[in-house]
Structure 1
Amino acid sequence: MSSIAAVALGTSLLLASASPSATSASGAGEPLATLVGARLVVGMQGTAPSPALLARIRAGRVGGVILMGANVRSAPQVRALTAGLRAAAERGGRKLLIMTDQEGGLVRRFRWAPPAAPADQLGTRTEGAIRKAGRATARALERLGVNVDLAPVADVPGVPDSFIAAMDRGFSTKQARAAKGVTAFAAGLLDGGVAPTLKHFPGLGLATSSTDDAAVRLTVPEEALEAGFVPYRRAIASGVVPLVMISNAAYNAYGGKVAAWSPRVLSTLAGLGFTGVTITDALEPLARTHRVALGQAALRAARAGVDLLLFVGSESSTDAVYDQLLAAARDGRLPRATLEASAARIDELAATYAG
């Protein structure tokens, strides 16, 4: 995808978010069942989609699928897997987001595909070289049938024991250099027709533990967090950010709520000029570390306004969560207007990348 196309995507997402007619056109008259389903990105078991998962996709009860390491055996196997997922979506008259984490280094679901270098090594290269790495990554993912990369990491390590730095996932400890690397890699993914995802807003650079392992709370003032927004500001201004992943950490500066459950965090992101699609981090670790039911964790994120709800656990558990969210939509806890607004953004994203 060219940089012109990337800017066009940003403009169309802005229109979908800001224009009442654009929002209502996408979801008006659509059943609550499919408005809710569009928001779920689910994991799968094994190396081939189950009949139950394919049926859920055909029925519009799933908006996306994430591929993890356990789903991957070889390139031909992945291509067959994604072809089956797409065929099910097409039979239901839909487009499906198929995503993975292909950051580079340790976080790379397809070990044979780029980038082999982790982000901290990529960050030492020129912007042109980083963009080239992003483009090569996108082309490899596109050949596998993947249309969303949950990368790049926009967190800037700011403490000596940052877990982001420990895993070599940040492009630099310098804000400006990190911003260049994040923007260049995202632009490269767009060049190759794959949607990049900046993560984890409003930042995990000051965290010493992973939110997958612990209930992380950052007590620093708002000014300290805003210092880490430089990569987001630059990438958003460059028109290369169709998605942003919201952190599973809690932030005292934003009222003490987990970011994915905080309308204030989402409004802060909008204040940076972002009008695209938001997605949670994996909800199973969030529910476990904060000792809430998975359905409750998902409902809180949906009510806060996060568009896509990401699950990496069992298919049966996400099917149960779907039922809980649908019940919340029917009794008004998830207002139809918010479901339609999310549908407009998600539909635009899927039309652009999952076509």
Structure 2
Amino acid sequence: MRARVVAAALLAPALACVAALGLAGCGEEDAVETAAPDESAQPALSTQAAPEGVDTQHAPTPAQLRVPEDLRARVATLMVVGVADYDQARFALDQGVGGVIIPSWADPALLTEPGRNINALREEYQRPFSVAIDFEGGRVQRHTQVFGDFMPPRALAGTPPEVIRGTGWDIGRSLRAYGVNVDYAPLLDLDVAGLDIVGDRSFNGNPDEVARVAGLFSQGLIDAGVTPTFKHFPGHGRASGDTHLQLAVTPPIDDLRGSDLRPYGPLLAAFPQASVMMGHMIVPGLGPEGVPSSMNPEAYRLLRTGDYPGGVPFDGVVVTDDLSGMRGILDYAPTMDAVARAIGSGADQALWSSGADLPRIIDHIVWCVQNGYIPEARIDEAATRVQQQLISVGL
């Protein structure tokens, strides 16, 4: 009960914050017990050597954590922004962001040009930061001319276990070679409603099969030193539409508990070092009516407590889905408003692919904290999680 009260209290400050600045506002039964996937088909812990500097076994000590003391610097570490070229990446890193994402429209030279690529930036900045990309295979794989071309997840699911894990390894090694260390994959959404945005991006319509294949694929990524990201919590497979185009509504939360949520428990138990991407779907019966999950404290509480069949508590990094490139969210709230609401509600990383207005958005979140609209403890909690992930895997 206390968790629900605290979560609800966090949403109110974020909403009050944007209201105070006069910004645009809102526009935006018996559960089936989860059976863990067949252990015989699950990946064992990797025996491959991880890339140099990657420690996949030990959590960082407090002395190793690099959580900034300055409030603005702490807030900046919660931002993940799209960068199209080397100069934009340098600007974002100069602002202190904790991560960047390589969008489809980025100049490939950001990955390949000696002295002006991601690897050069790592040498220059001498601090950990994440570089993420959407690379599922099939329809969603960015910059294949650099990273290679891989089969769709649905096709991959039909291959032997060693091929699934090996594909994760191949993708991960290719990403890591060019400085990318977070993959916004695998997708855990179930293909059960004929949604085109899901389709062959989904491994299957059966939650246990999704968990099995996603586990093998994720182990391959981790073997290669890349952090997998499970998406889109709490499940987009039966939503009313595509959140890239409009706000979408899922079946009630009690229905999701028996199906869409089922892959998360066994996977988060096996891969606590993974990230989770919070989707933008509205879930009836979950927190405030009409609020997208990415801005809904109850969605974060559900994930953190594992309050669903087979669920486990999760204390890793939670990143939002794109807060600038999806019509559904932009119709609900402008990006600066959405970032404040997401962080205030429980997100550790606010992601927007445009990267626009970065300094102003950082300053806005600082203002919200200084004026009591977002608790500083919320910033500290998120910044610590982000740094723990960066340090523990050598990012």
TM-score interval (norm. to shorter): 0.7 to 0.9
Identify unmatched segments of 5+ residues in structure 2.
1-43
Kindly state the Cα deviation for residue 344 of structure 1 after the two structures are TM-superposed: 1.3
Match of 2:387 in 1: 347
Kindly state the Cα deviation for residue 124 of structure 1 after the two structures are TM-superposed: 1.0
Q: Secondary structure at the match of 2:100?
A: strand
Where in structure 2 are the equivalents of 1:1-355 lying within 5 Å? 3=46, 12=59, 27=67, 30-45=69-84, 47-50=85-88, 53-60=89-96, 62-73=97-108, 76-77=112-113, 80-90=116-126, 94-112=127-145, 113-114=147-148, 116-159=150-193, 161-166=194-199, 168-239=200-271, 241-255=273-287, 256=289, 257-270=291-304, 271=306, 272-273=311-312, 274-284=314-324, 285=326, 288-313=329-354, 315-355=355-395
Q: Secondary structure at the match of 1:197?
A: strand
* Equivalent-residue separation in structure 2 for 1:242 and 1:127 (angstroms): 20
Kindly state the Cα deviation for residue 209 of structure 1 after the two structures are TM-superposed: 2.3
* Larger fraction in helix: 1
Q: Structure 1 9/304 Cα, relative in aligned 2: closer, same or farther at 3 Å?
A: farther
Q: 1:265-324 deviations in whole A, cap 9, x for unaligned?
A: 1111121322210000000126754332211111110001110000111x4423321121
Q: Secondary structure at the match of 2:136?
A: strand
Q: Secondary structure at the match of 2:227?
A: coil
* Equivalent-residue separation in structure 2 for 1:208 and 1:121 (angstroms): 25
Q: Aligned pair count?
A: 336
Q: Structure 1 72/106 Cα, relative in aligned 2: closer, same or farther at 3 Å?
A: farther
* Equivalent-residue separation in structure 1 for 2:166 and 2:365 (angstroms): 41
- Does the 8 A contact of 1:152 with 1:198 survive in 2? yes
Q: 1:155-181 deviations in whole A, cap 9, x for unaligned?
A: 11221x223443x11011122111111
Q: Secondary structure at the match of 2:189?
A: coil
Kindly state the Cα deviation for residue 12 of structure 1 after the two structures are TM-superposed: 3.4
Kindly state the Cα deviation for residue 225 of structure 1 after the two structures are TM-superposed: 4.3
Identify unmatched segments of 5+ residues in structure 1.
17-21
Q: 1:121-173 deviations in whole A, cap 9, x for unaligned?
A: 111122221111000100000111101000000111221x223443x110111
Largest Rg, 1 or 2:
2
* Equivalent-residue separation in structure 2 for 1:231 and 1:11 (angstroms): 25
- Does the 8 A contact of 1:203 with 1:247 survive in 2? yes
The percentage of aligned residue pairs carrying the same residue is: 26
Q: 1:176-220 deviations in whole A, cap 9, x for unaligned?
A: 111111111111100000000000000001025221111112243
Kindly state the Cα deviation for residue 100 of structure 1 after the two structures are TM-superposed: 0.5
- Does the 8 A contact of 1:210 with 1:216 survive in 2? yes
Q: Secondary structure at the match of 2:80?
A: strand
* Equivalent-residue separation in structure 2 for 1:79 and 1:143 (angstroms): 15
RMSD (Å), alpha carbons: 2.8
Q: Structure 1 125/220 Cα, relative in aligned 2: closer, same or farther at 3 Å?
A: same
